[in-house]
Amino acid sequence: MPGAGSSWGRWPRHRHRTIALTNRYQRLVLDEPGTLLPYGNGRSYGDSCQNDGGFLLTTRGLDRYVAFDVDNGVIECEAGMLLEDVIEFALPRGWFLPVTPGTCFVTLGGAIANDVHGKNHHRLGTFGHHVLGFELLRSDGSERWCTPSENADWFAATIGGLGLTGLIRRLRLQLRRVPGPFLRGQSLRFGNLSGFFELSRDSDADYEYTVSWLDCTAKGRQRGRGVFMRANHAVAEGTTPGSGQWRVPFTSPLPLVNRLSLRLFNTLYYHRPAARRADAVWHYRPFFYPLDGVLEWNRIYGPRGFYQYQCVIPPATAPESLEEMLETIAVSGSGSFLGVLKMFGEQASPGLLSFARSGTTLALDFPNGGAPTLQLLESLDAITRKAGGAVYPAKDARMSATSFQQYFPRWKEFLRFIDPRFSSSFWRRVSQDPQGEAS
């Protein structure tokens, strides 16, 4: 079995014991000391799904459908079910996830706890906007049904609540109608960041899904170039990808991602003919989940794993801050395999600690090169802090308490909702007193 309990960045490594949850009526047995943390499918990159020295409550055994209202597209299921299973169930009946992240191997509980976003944020907001209600179990045995109107304070604390407010056992989700599995749209190249902003402005009104890939290895006049994709659900004829999947069979002893392979990959990606298509039809799988065809792709980064950095920068400062980031990355010489760029919409997110907010979001991953990588990420944080932005906890393994507390100004309000028995490695790090923080 692949190592249960690790995070997607494969770094940092933690030790914990696991308690497997297998049905939604199970009580939490707490006769041993130690803190608890729900664990979904470990698709968070850093330590927000880790609880060093404590227990992980593994939730994949909570994977039952409870009810489905086919007329209204309301699905009720247990929280350990994967988005993939929801799609498999809903799509043949004409429904789809209202919001989906870039992988469907994520549990519903995990999607709530990070209040995840997708390529349609400017239209439909975050995942939490579509959650009609959930049942929250606390370590004292109490159960609450939380909705935007019932236990609304618990609802807001638990959405984006990083698993700290209790265990979500069951939830009700509003799906959205789709005509079928296909999307139709365009793929366009842009030569620099202003090209990206222009395309975003032109596209956000007519296209539900917009996202860009950014070539982080391009230098000089080519810096900021990339490929912009925009699409809508559509009635279309296309090819359905086979169900075959590749698996990276073992952890490469050396990282396969280095300066050369990155440059090559990014250059090829930019210049491949499919980067410019006036009328493209995608099946939803390659469109939403391009990496899901290669199982355990994170192993290519070798035994030391990698860091991911995702920030959002407010609209006013986005162009200059993003330029500054690209400059900083270029100077450091440590490129990113995939840079993803997207404009968020203005809808306020439903969670006290939700990450998504108005602005431009940039996501990058970096092979773990030790101290220089951490320095680079800290200098990116300096830019994000100055710009009044935020960094995404789901992808973080290193942000300082100072940064976190600035990025999430409502964190103190959140404290009273934390279950006294729950904690995470991430939380112990970012809730420290910044004065006492180890530098």
Partner 1 sequence: MRKVLIVGATSAIAESVAREFARREDRLFLVGRRPQALAAIADDLKLRGAPMVQFRVQDANDISAHAELIESASVAMGGLDTVLIAHGTLPDQAACAASVERTLAEYQTNALSQISLCTLIANRFESQGNGTLAVISSVAGDRGRQSNYVYGSAKAAVTAFTSGLRQRLHGKGVHVITIKPGFVDTPMTAAFDKRGPLWASADSVAKTIVRGMIAGKPVIYAPWFWWGIMQIIRNIPERIFRGLKL
DSSP string covering 99-111, please? S--S-S--BHHHH
| Percentages (nearest 5) of helix, strand, coil residues in the chain | 30, 25, 45
Q: Which is nearer to ligand FAD, 223 or 342 (CB)?
A: 342
Nearest-angstrom CA–CA distance, 63 and 26:
14
In the complex with ligand FAD, the residue whose CB is nearer, 44 or 360, is 44
Which 8-state DSSP code applies to residue 256?
Answer: S
| The pair of three-digit structure tokens given for residue 18, joined into one six-digit string | 């696991």
CB-CB contact of 223 with 192 (8 Å): yes
Which class for 378: exposed (0-12), middle (13-18), buried (19 or more C-beta within 10 A)? middle
Choose from partner 1, ligand FAD, none: what does 22 bind? Cβ within 5-8 Å by kind. Answer: partner 1
- Closer residue to ligand FAD, CB minimum distance, 276 or 304: 304
Which C-beta is closer to ligand FAD: that of 11 or that of 324? 11
How near is the Cβ of 98 to partner 1 at its closest, in Å? 20
Nearer to ligand FAD, 266 or 349 (CB): 349
Question: Which window, 46-54, 59-67, 256-264, 421-429, contacts partner 1 (CB under 8 A)?
Answer: 59-67
Residue from 31, 32, 67, 220 touching partner 1 (CB under 8 A): that is 67
Residues in the chain: 439
Tell me which of partner 1, ligand FAD, none is bound by residue 39, counting a contact when its beta carbon lies within the kind-specific cut-off of 5 to 8 angstroms: ligand FAD
Q: Which of 377, 379, 382 is nearest to 364 (CA)?
A: 377
Binding site partner of 338, from partner 1, ligand FAD, none, Cβ cut-off 5-8 A by kind: none
**Site track for partner 1 across 16-55, x = CB under 8 A:** ----x-xxxx------------------------------
Minimal distance, residue 20 CB to partner 1, in Å: 6
- Min. distance of Cβ 318 from partner 1 in angstroms? 44
Burial of 261 (0-12, 13-18, 19+ CB in 10 A): middle
Place of tokens 């997207």: 342
Does residue 76 contact residue 170 with C-beta atoms inside 8 Å? yes
| Tokens matching residue 273 | 């003919």
The distance of closest approach from Cβ of residue 67 to partner 1 in the complex, given in angstroms and rounded to an integer, is 7
Other Cβ atoms less than 10 A from the Cβ of 398: the count is: 18
Q: Is 24 or 233 the residue whose CB approaches ligand FAD more closely? A: 24
- Using the minimum distance from each CB to partner 1, give the nearer residue, 72 or 375: 72
The Cα 439–Cα 303 span in angstroms is 25
Positions in the binding site for partner 1 (CB under 8 A): 1, 3-4, 20, 22-25, 61, 64-68, 89
User: What residues make contact with ligand FAD under the rule CB under 6 A?
Assistant: 8, 37-44, 48-49, 59, 79, 101-103, 106-107, 109-111, 113-114, 116-118, 162-163, 167-168, 291, 394
